[in-house]
A and B are shown apart, each in its own frame.
Chain A
């Protein structure tokens, strides 16, 4: 028996069978795959959005994204802690209403809304002149946070703009490099330092064990087509995020007293003018 010849025949037969099987596997994969992740679907999405004058500068991910859900709680600081951190305990605390506490010291004031949102304002005279540069603004914010006992390890700058003599900076929370919405710390800065801070922050309590598959990015973007308020806009970034926003997500009356909950994976779209939109579809 010629073993060499037999091997040749077998190799040839196996090769043909493998090719046929490969074809079936490819066909099955295509059938069960997410059709919205194909190159052509992404191109069609871009075209359809452009017809509504919505332009996308961000890269549209073409893969399935899975994230866990997070158990989060609103950052809560007592008036005493804030008085200590901001005014060295010299501020005057006034309980204006059940959900509003005010604190004053010289030109500065703090309002605590619903026990979770903090509004700081410095009413000093405007120095005029040019707005500080991005680097200067970042340094001023960093210093402001450091001296008032706010860690900045989980903060990421998501928007910056200059207008007249002021710079505007917007930070969001990140958890393992993914943004956690809707948390924010917004600053207005001038040459003399921070003029105001508006902060609503979330802390992560625990992470779930199960992955949640997000709807594909093109599918999420297509939801803009029937919302005229987003027409004639330019999308700057498109990222997966964790989303917890009781007022937006709840269907029930007053959720201003929410203290904790579950943040669900969603898509975060930021327009060129800084507006953020979260799309939470699966």
Chain B
């Protein structure tokens, strides 16, 4: 399989992953805190007009947007994680490594604590602040770590950790200062798709499409840079530009997803690894397959979050780590890498 052409691999793995994604969507559509009979589900898919309005509301206004957003966020985080792991050549890299998460949480916390009013009903101020917090922290990390227009990987990772700790401390400080909003901040920090509506989907979709195309465009260069900066340079890849470009694309996708769904951890770290174990390290195959797998995984995790302790919802960030970590460990063990 490894030596077959890229088209074959893309089709085969893509078909398998898409089948899993479809199954995940079906499961997410069928299960929720309100049980829906198989007949109603049949009607929902094939003859909407016959469906009672309550079930129509539940299925199409509540569940469907959540599934869509879950797919988008899962796919975006997986793509961003793949790009970061590729460009930084570090297996520990994840979409939040550049301090995106810390910046986003600072922005969101500020919006929650200061009760920033929303200028438009469709735009949550928390989402807007989270997005700009993420972008600003990313720029800060870039400025801190670039030396003579170069971006040494170690400095970049360190700068990400430094900015992350600093903004994390600010978030903790704000949380102690305003304890009546504490639960909102905590819920946001744990990540949840609970209040999803189609507006959020519309806000994330352009970033997903543009960022996805952008990252896929970089896939061949990411393959070359995996051989090391000097080697890639000698092969004509403009390494520094590539780094900046890939990091910018991945960070923007991450910022949009964080703004929409809060911090959903672990997914961006382990989906690229799992996918790499299956399809191999070629980014031209890895990026799209990881995106599909990430989408499927988050849809399933969100279904579990909705149903496991109904009527309460478990933050989906808890589920991703709770289910993902043992699975990742099992896979690592199976592959005899531990």
Question: Do chains A and B stick together as partners?
Answer: no
Q: Which residues of B contact A (CB under 8 A)?
A: none
